[in-house]
Amino acid sequence: MSTQAETLEFQAEAQQLLQLMVHSIYSNKDVFLRELIANASDALDKLRLEAFRDKDLEVDTSDLHIAIEVDREKRTLTVRDNGIGMSRDDVVGLIGTIAKSGTGELLRKLKESSDAAANELIGQFGVGFYSSFMVADEVTLVTRRAGESTATRWSSAGAGTYTVETVAEAPQGTSVTLHLKPEDAEDHLFDYTDEWKIRQIVQRYSDFITWPIRMEVDSPDGAGGTKREVQTLNSMKALWARSKDEVDEGEYREFYKHISHDWRDPLETVQVKAEGTFEYQALLFLPSHAPADLFARERTRGVQLYVKRVFIMDDCEALLPEYLRFVKGVVDAQDLSLNVSREILQQDRQISLMRRRLTKKVLSAVKAMLDDDAERYRTFWNEFGRAVKEGLLSDPENRDALLDVVSFASTHDPEQLTTLRQYVERMKDGQRHIYYLTGASRQVVESSPHMEAFRAKGYEVLVLTDPIDEMWVDAVPEFDGKPLQSIAKGELDLDTEEEKKSAESERDQQQKDFAAVLAWMTEKLGDEVRQVRLTSRLTTSPACLVGESSDLTPTMEKIYRAMGHEVPPTKRILELNPAHPLVAGLRKAHEERGDDAELSEVVELLYGTAFLAEGGELADPARFTRLLADRLASTL
- Known binding-site residues for ATP equal 35, 39, 81, 86, 100-102, 124-129, 174, 342
Q: How is residue 265 annotated by DSSP? A: P
| Helix and strand element counts for the chain (H, E) | 20, 23
DSSP 536-582: SS-SS-SEEEEB-TTPPPHHHHHHHHHTT---PPPPEEEEE-TTSHH
Report CA-CA distances (Å) from 526 to 413, 511, 623: 40, 20, 18
Q: Please state, in angstroms and rounded to a whole number, the distance separating the CA atoms of residues 196 and 389.
A: 49
285: helix, coil or strand? Answer: strand
* Cβ contact 254:205 at 8 Å: yes
Q: Please state, in angstroms and rounded to a whole number, the distance separating the CA atoms of residues 439 and 445.
A: 5
* Cβ contact 590:599 at 8 Å: yes
581-593 helix and 497-524 helix, angle to the nearest 10 degrees: 50
Taken in order 282, 283, 286, 290, is the CA torsion positive or negative?
negative
The secondary structure element, H or E, covering residue 198 is helix 195-205
- Residue 175 corresponds to which amino acid? S
* Cβ contact 32:135 at 8 Å: yes
3-state secondary structure 121-138: HHHCCCCHHHHHHHCEEE
Buried b (16+ CB within 10 A) or exposed e, 261-271: bbbbbbbbbbb
Q: Please state, in angstroms and rounded to a whole number, the distance separating the CA atoms of residues 166 and 2.
A: 5
SS3 content of the chain, % helix, strand, coil (to 5): 45, 20, 35
153: helix, coil or strand? Answer: strand
* Cβ contact 453:537 at 8 Å: yes
Q: Please state, in angstroms and rounded to a whole number, the distance separating the CA atoms of residues 58 and 52.
A: 11
DSSP 80-98: EE-SS---HHHHHHHHS--
Binding-site sequence positions: 35, 39, 81, 86, 100-102, 124-129, 174, 342
The secondary structure element, H or E, covering residue 260 is helix 249-260
Q: Please state, in angstroms and rounded to a whole number, the distance separating the CA atoms of residues 366 and 384.
A: 11
Q: How is residue 377 annotated by DSSP? A: H
419: helix, coil or strand? Answer: strand
**Closest alpha carbon to 628 in 606, 610, 613, 597:** 606
Q: Please state, in angstroms and rounded to a whole number, the distance separating the CA atoms of residues 603 and 589.
A: 12
What distance lies between CA 587 and its chain's CA centroid? Answer: 54
Greatest Cα-to-Cα distance within the chain, rounded to the nearest angstrom: 120
* Cβ contact 164:92 at 8 Å: yes
